[in-house]
Structure 1
Amino acid sequence: MSESTTIQLPPVPPDGGSPEPPPHRRWIRVALITALAVLLVAAPLALYLLLNGEDSGGSGGGGPVPSEVPSASAVPSGQPSATTGVPAPDGRISPDVLRNATIDVPAWPTDNLTGLSGRVAFHNGQVLIPPDSRFPFERHMVIGAVTYGDLDRDGATETVVQISAVIQGGGVQLVALDRNRAGAIVTMGTVVAATGAIRDIDGAAGRVTGDGVVEARVADFQRCCGDETPQTWQKRGYTWDGSRFRQTTGPVSFPPNPSVTETGFDAGELVFGPAVDGVRHGTLTVTVRHVRGTRPHHLVLLFEPAPGIERDGSSWPPVQVAPNGHLTVELPTPATGASATYTFAFRRPATATDDEFGLDLRGATAGGVLLSESNPWDGQHRVTVRTTD
């Protein structure tokens, strides 16, 4: 079957409902990240799937190039036998079956919110993902829109399904599925995933052409939670080459978006030394960088220390101190792809034990307007605080 209509498949919460996830974008929230498991009180998952289809912007130009995302190892259906003429298995998998199927989910790109990979059993269209070392909060994987077509040109139909890992936005990938001759669901691979410059995929706009090209609508920014950042949407096509999907049609890059950037940073530990006159002193090293997108006029680094932790010494750049003790400094933007390292001094009472310390980075215009981060899931840090005697 070719040029088929996409089936829109909103998730059904298990047992009649699911925890409402907390807001989790990249600004003014890092110090609270470890408490998110308790504070799951924000919008439901349905908000994400609704917003995932928003339309804005235009498209650029370009030609066929390899896909930006390597596909998982393929296990497609067999070709019809040249001698027996036995047809290939029917790989059309209904939405109802997919919602409660066990699917071999390909690995998720690491530059986005990640979900479970490998053999994943879905129940009513979703799976709860427990907190882990990188994302210490619960999130969900959900089955989204489904479309069909002959992807490997064996005369039989295969299935393309949108799978998302979300908590007010997150990771998205289109995954191609088939059946083997025993009737079991097998995974061909990832068609396209939100990674690099691609930050969102409109699964409801996908289709398979008569020659087996999976056409997907992709964007340079993922809106969530009332955000009105301009998006650029493009139609790109992906073709199965026998082992993976590669981009063969459509633009290969996005035009500059003046509202969007991607920054990043790394932070060491904040180590306080022995007590001197009832006070401990320590330093924190932070390395900042500009990854892609619009180059900010300057960077804004936000410190969210626990009460009692204060800036120390006279070597700080100009700093703004909020009533809650949070500190904000402006730093020059390194060249794209380059980095700059800074060391900041702190002190706290020798008797203090609270060690919460959040850190975040944003790019800003010359007028101080904060730019939207194309990847809000990268660069969220809770700094480790420890004491030595």
Structure 2
Amino acid sequence: MPEQEVLAAEFARYRQAVMTEIEVPGPAAVRRAVRRRRRSHLAAGATAALTLLAGPVVGYAALDRPAPGPTPVEPTPSATASPSPTPSGSGSPSPSSATTSTSPTGAPDGRISRAQLLAGPVTLPTWHVDAGCPNGRVRLTGEAGWETNTLLALDTGDIDGDGAAETVALVQCVRGTGGPQQVVAFDRDRSGRIVTVGQVTRTRLERPQWLIALDARDDGVVRVQVGDIAPGGGWPGDWSQRQWRGYRWDGRSFGQVSGPTAFGPNRHGVNLVLTATDLVLATAPDGSHPGTVTVRIRNAGTGPAAYVALRLDLPSALRPDGDGWAPCRNTPATTSQPVSCELGRLDAGAELRLTLGLRAAAGVTVGRGTADVEARPMDARSTVVEEVYGVDNLVRIDYR
């Protein structure tokens, strides 16, 4: 037999023998092998992902904001990943609680965002007795509505000296176009829940009636800008007197430690109310025509008028006459039309009554008509001061 045929026969016998000893894998065996390989790949990928993402997740949890989605990372050949412990706990925190970081002293971080304060109920200290506003466990709103507790402003600072920041909030109980206000300090407890520290200050009927701005400083002082009168009802905000007052936490409550404690008189708080009688002229023996006008000026406001400017827009033929003009600081007889009288201070609640004589010279015919009589408050610089309700500062009289 040729050599090639001998070798072919031997290889055929060997192949037959080997094939009888090897089991060809069927479909079930193939699926088992695929599952084993897939589990190995997933385990390795999960280990690497936990190692790479553990740091960012913890950091965002400490900041009390959602962690971003993982960014794909290309592992280096030399990196060796080991699984990190799986965080314990169930579910996400409630709106009033969150995982929070602590200061170097171990105190919880009390920085609270606007969204977090609006997310769930918080405890508000009591408003003044006559406010009729909800307090206790209430929801704050981001926009004003009828009888809502509206969040107006926020700031943060270490107000209790524990090495961590707290949050102060300016809140208004909106009733119509206005309502009382208060500044409240909030913190977090060690479980991350929002807790109320206390009321820093609030508006009062006797003033301040307006809280404008706040500034929480790291030296523990909470500064609040206050105004004597709140804008509204014809009162613009730039008429109000403004002050910065500082408050400090003593462990039990807030007390004022800096700034003024009271307001002086507001120059726009004056409200002059004027009445005047008609002018009826007679004929004197010398042929002249005398008459009187009785003027009553009352300050119905809460602030004094430094001066009062009285004007009588009568015909120029009628000139001041008699002693009734003596209270005037100027010389009315020298004034042209209208006749003016500059009066002195008129305190809140006070009243002036003047009987002012007027005379037309003999041979002058005055006739009949109407004339304006007006009283306006002035400040110390003799500048006319605007009033909220000025329609009662002017009356029209008849003369004849």
| Larger relative strand fraction | 1
TM-score norm. by structure 1 comes to 0.42
Q: Which has the higher contact order (CA 8 A, sep 6+)?
A: 1
Find the structure with the greater CA-based Rg.
Answer: 2
| Larger relative helix fraction | 2
TM-score norm. by structure 2 comes to 0.41
